[in-house]
């Protein structure tokens, strides 16, 4: 079972676990070099090995042969017949779509032509025979082999796209549009679930509704859902603000309970609770590859939910000892009534002038006034730093309509000498608040260049070496970092220390094989010319020395 940020699928297509459960009853099929050839198609097969305890069959390889132009010695050519069937289906489909288009032209004299495509959201392949219907009419068509369609539609028409049994989308079409409809075809389509606090509820019941439980008699039982508690201690239940109650002094508390301490406070002085910022932005909530059920077939997954407000993709793949498989996939959304999300870069660089933006979202049914604040700290000592080009941008107040969002921006000037920057961005709407805190590395606007000078000095010899680039430096941006002098009585020892790197390559390619050959040949030559090196190794072996161990083994 695993759950991860769904936006990662935009960077790299997610692996389809459901496809891994198909075809598991096949035998070993090592078809690395086989292909089918006809006069009109070259079909290349690349089939992975499916585990089964069957013996390998003799692999028959096909080599270059004469092109028989579809003729078969046995009087029948299955590839050619399949090709004819595909051609016939394509002709029939093209004729059908042409007739559907002419019907739409006749039905709407003052309309316009619309073209589009229907593809799979998983691998971007075309979806043929997808239904495209003009809402409120009987005019419809289907997509062709390449997923394209064409219709003549009236102004401001609504198109209904359907594929399979439960995949459906509706969009409003305007002149000049080229809609590309994507259907996720490789998983079970389920309702989204929204995480609210520590419970879950349907997205459609998110605003101002009570949660329900259902007994065995199917009689609904309503209970209050505490949605939020603001910084002033106000409690919101089922979308409504509860009336405040005040306890003046302790005269109303007549009885005493053991272990309960009563403290008097000034009712007019209530400290403001700081906004809790989100700090855990892990992109993977959990990944457990070896879960086992209990006797009832249940699995309890314990994990810490990251604090990113986003859409998460949950996947689960289960198997029994007799290799029966089941697959489940769903989506989970983490959100708040008022949210702020910063569009920060992965890193900053010294000397940059950067304008960063943030999105403030309001999921309430009413307009709210939101106060945003940006605080910046040196991540090494958490001391405040002033990087804003305009100090007034640190605190901004914006009005956001219901169920909309609005951007805010901040202009930063990154100085030199700052290794890392921590930002704390908050949004306060009174009843609701949100904030996030994260650290960004600050890279120097320079490149580390190491220059070395070999110094060969024989016994009883004196030499003078001049580092011209160090003495005659004309660069205005160069900053000297370190000056190191390495000394050894036996320069050949440097070669000995580098040999394991060349000998221990993990692969068998020609380049690494030559490196191993070169390293072993050089080692043999060094031992012959420098017997003292071999004597040192033998002494280390006999004395159980740790010198031959790597740093990880010590």
pLDDT digit string (tens) for 183-204? 876 544 333 333 333 333 333 3
**Greater pLDDT, 408 or 504:** 408
* 203-223 pLDDT tens trace: 333 333 333 333 333 333 333
DSSP SS3 for 347: coil
- Chain position carrying tokens 């986003």: 310
**C-alpha dihedral sign at 96, 102, 107, 111:** positive
Which pLDDT belongs to residue 187? 43
Q: Which residues make Cβ contacts (< 8 Å) with residue 420, sequence separation at least 6?
A: 378, 379, 380, 439, 440, 441, 442
The whole-angstrom separation of Cα 334 and Cα 310 is: 6
Bridge-based pairing of strands 112-120 and 180-183 is parallel
DSSP SS3 for 233: coil
Which pLDDT belongs to residue 222? 37
**Greater pLDDT, 35 or 354:** 354
Which pLDDT belongs to residue 49? 46
Which pLDDT belongs to residue 392? 93
Is the CB of residue 435 less than 8 Å from the CB of residue 390? no
Which pLDDT belongs to residue 360? 95
Of the chain, the percentage scoring pLDDT greater than 90 comes to 30
Task: Inform me whether the pLDDT recorded for 268 exceeds 80.
Answer: no
pLDDT interval class at 355 (50, 70, 90): very high
Point out the least confidently predicted range of 56-65, 68-77, 209-218. 209-218
- Chain position carrying tokens 């190794």: 537
Which pLDDT belongs to residue 69? 58
Which pLDDT belongs to residue 371? 95
Q: How would DSSP label each residue in 522-547?
A: HHHHHHHH-HHHHHHHHHHHHTT-ST
pLDDT interval class at 409 (50, 70, 90): very high
Written out in words, the top-level CATH class of the domain with range 80-183 is mainly beta
Rounded mean pLDDT of 406-428? Answer: 94
Bridge-based pairing of strands 220-223 and 226-229 is unpaired
The whole-angstrom separation of Cα 412 and Cα 418 is: 13
CA 450 to chain centre: 37
Point out the least confidently predicted range of 172-181, 262-271, 326-335, 545-554. 262-271
pLDDT interval class at 532 (50, 70, 90): confident
Task: Inform me whether the pLDDT recorded for 258 exceeds 50.
Answer: no
Which pLDDT belongs to residue 75? 58
- Where does residue 21 fall: left (phi above 0), alpha (psi -120 to 50 degrees), or beta otherwise? alpha
Rounded mean pLDDT of 360-371? Answer: 94
pLDDT interval class at 382 (50, 70, 90): very high
Question: Three-state SS string across 446-477, please?
Answer: CCCCCCCCCCCCCCCCCCCCCCHHHHCCCCCC
Bridge-based pairing of strands 348-349 and 433-443 is parallel
Q: Which residues make Cβ contacts (< 8 Å) with residue 231, sequence separation at least 6?
A: 272, 273, 275, 428, 433
Which pLDDT belongs to residue 20? 54
Homologous superfamily of 338-443: Immunoglobulins (2.60.40.10)
pLDDT interval class at 479 (50, 70, 90): confident
Q: Which among 277, 197, 208, 273 is positioned nearest to 430, based on CA atoms?
A: 273
Rounded mean pLDDT of 234-250? Answer: 48
**Please, what is the end-to-end C-alpha distance for the chain in angstroms?**
37
Q: Angle at Cα 141 formed by Cα 138 and Cα 144, nearest 5°?
A: 175
143 half-sphere exposure, CB direction, 13 A CA radius: 27
Task: Inform me whether the pLDDT recorded for 525 exceeds 50.
Answer: yes
Parts of the chain belonging to CATH 2.60.40.10: 338-443
Contacts 24+ apart (CB under 8 A), 320-325: 323/24, 325/21, 325/24
The whole-angstrom separation of Cα 415 and Cα 413 is: 6
pLDDT interval class at 349 (50, 70, 90): very high
Task: Inform me whether the pLDDT recorded for 530 exceeds 50.
Answer: yes
Other beta carbons within 10 angstroms of residue 93's beta carbon come to: 16
Point out the least confidently predicted range of 258-267, 392-401, 402-411, 455-464. 258-267
- DSSP class of residue 258 equals T
Contacts 24+ apart (CB under 8 A), 72-81: 77/38, 79/36, 79/38, 79/41, 79/43, 80/38
Which pLDDT belongs to residue 554? 62
- DSSP class of residue 166 equals T
Which pLDDT belongs to residue 553? 65
Is the CB of residue 366 less than 8 Å from the CB of residue 402? yes
Rounded mean pLDDT of 479-502? Answer: 83
**Greater pLDDT, 80 or 435:** 435
Point out the least confidently predicted range of 113-117, 236-240, 364-368. 236-240
Angle between helices 531-542 and 510-529 (to 10 degrees): 100
**Greater pLDDT, 493 or 255:** 493
Which pLDDT belongs to residue 165? 64
> What are the C-alpha distances in Å from 69 to residues 79, 80, 177?
11, 9, 44
Is the CB of residue 442 less than 8 Å from the CB of residue 348? yes
Task: Inform me whether the pLDDT recorded for 456 exceeds 50.
Answer: yes
Tokens of 177: 């549009």
Which pLDDT belongs to residue 50? 44
Other beta carbons within 10 angstroms of residue 385's beta carbon come to: 14
Which pLDDT belongs to residue 70? 58
Bridge-based pairing of strands 2-5 and 284-287 is antiparallel
Rounded mean pLDDT of 29-57? Answer: 50
Parts of the chain belonging to CATH 2.60.40.1120: 80-183
Task: Inform me whether the pLDDT recorded for 19 exceeds 90.
Answer: no
pLDDT interval class at 366 (50, 70, 90): very high
Point out the least confidently predicted range of 333-337, 418-422, 460-464, 531-535. 531-535
Of the chain, the percentage scoring pLDDT greater than 70 comes to 71
Which strands, in side-by-side order, build the sheet including 226-229?
226-229, 235-237, 240-241
Task: Inform me whether the pLDDT recorded for 539 exceeds 90.
Answer: no
Tokens of 329: 């996939």
pLDDT interval class at 61 (50, 70, 90): low
* 142-179 pLDDT tens trace: 998 888 999 999 888 899 998 876 688 888 888 888 88
Q: How would DSSP label each residue in 15-73?
A: P-TTGGGTTTT------SS-EEE-SS-EEE---PPPP-S-PPPPPPPP------TT--T
């Amino acid at each position: 079972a695993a759950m991860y940020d769904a936006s990662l699928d935009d960077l790299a297509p997610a692996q389809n676990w459901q496809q891994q459960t198909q075809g598991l009853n096949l035998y070993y099929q090592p078809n690395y070099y086989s292909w089918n050839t006809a006069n009109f198609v070259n079909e290349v097969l690349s089939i992975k090995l499916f585990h089964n305890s069957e013996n390998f069959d003799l692999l028959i390889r096909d080599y270059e042969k004469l092109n028989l132009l579809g003729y078969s010695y046995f009087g029948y050519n299955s590839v050619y017949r399949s090709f004819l069937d595909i051609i016939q289906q394509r002709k029939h489909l093209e004729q059908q779509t042409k007739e559907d288009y002419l019907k739409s032209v006749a039905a709407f004299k003052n309309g316009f032509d619309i073209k589009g495509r229907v593809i799979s959201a998983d691998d971007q392949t075309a979806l043929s025979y997808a239904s495209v219907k003009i809402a409120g009419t009987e005019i419809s068509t289907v997509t062709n082999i390449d997923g394209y369609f064409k219709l003549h539609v009236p102004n401001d028409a609504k198109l209904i796209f359907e594929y399979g049994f439960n995949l459906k989308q509706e969009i409003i079409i305007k002149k000049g549009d080229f809609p590309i409809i994507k259907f996720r075809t490789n998983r079970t389509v389920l309702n989204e679930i929204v995480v609210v606090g520590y419970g879950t509820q349907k997205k459609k019941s998110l605003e101002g509704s009570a949660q329900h439980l259902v007994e065995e008699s199917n009689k609904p039982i309503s209970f209050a859902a505490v949605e939020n508690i603001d910084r002033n201690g106000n409690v919101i239940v089922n979308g409504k603000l509860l009336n405040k109650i005040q306890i003046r002094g302790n005269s109303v508390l007549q009885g005493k309970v053991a272990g309960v301490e009563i403290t008097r406070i000034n009712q007019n002085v209530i400290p403001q609770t700081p906004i809790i910022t989100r700090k855990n932005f892990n992109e993977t909530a959990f990944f457990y590859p070896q879960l086992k059920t209990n006797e009832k077939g249940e699995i309890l997954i314990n994990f810490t939910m990251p604090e990113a407000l986003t859409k998460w993709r949950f996947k689960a793949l289960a198997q029994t000892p007799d290799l029966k498989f089941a697959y489940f996939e769903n989506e989970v959304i983490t959100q708040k009534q008022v949210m702020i999300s910063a569009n920060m870069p992965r890193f900053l660089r010294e000397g940059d002038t950067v304008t960063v933006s943030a999105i403030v979202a309001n999921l309430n049914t009413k307009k709210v006034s939101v106060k945003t604040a940006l605080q910046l700290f040196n991540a090494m000592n958490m001391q405040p730093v002033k990087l804003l080009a305009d100090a007034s941008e640190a605190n901004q107040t914006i009005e956001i309509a219901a169920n909309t969002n609005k951007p805010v921006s901040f202009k930063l000037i990154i100085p030199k000498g700052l290794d890392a920057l921590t930002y704390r961005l908050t949004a306060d709407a009174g009843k609701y608040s949100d904030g996030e805190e994260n650290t960004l590395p600050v890279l120097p606007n320079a490149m580390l260049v190491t220059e070395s000078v070999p110094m060969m000095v024989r016994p009883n010899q004196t030499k003078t070496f001049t580092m011209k680039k160090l003495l005659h430096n004309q660069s205005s941006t160069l900053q000297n970092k370190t000056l190191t002098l390495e000394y050894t009585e036996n320069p050949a020892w440097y070669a000995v220390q580098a040999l394991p790197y060349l000998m221990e390559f993990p692969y068998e390619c020609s380049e690494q094989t030559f490196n191993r050959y070169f390293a072993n040949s050089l080692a043999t030559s060094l031992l012959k010319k420098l017997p003292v090196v071999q004597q040192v190794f033998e002494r280390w072996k006999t004395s159980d020395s740790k010198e031959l161990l790597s740093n990880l083994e010590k």
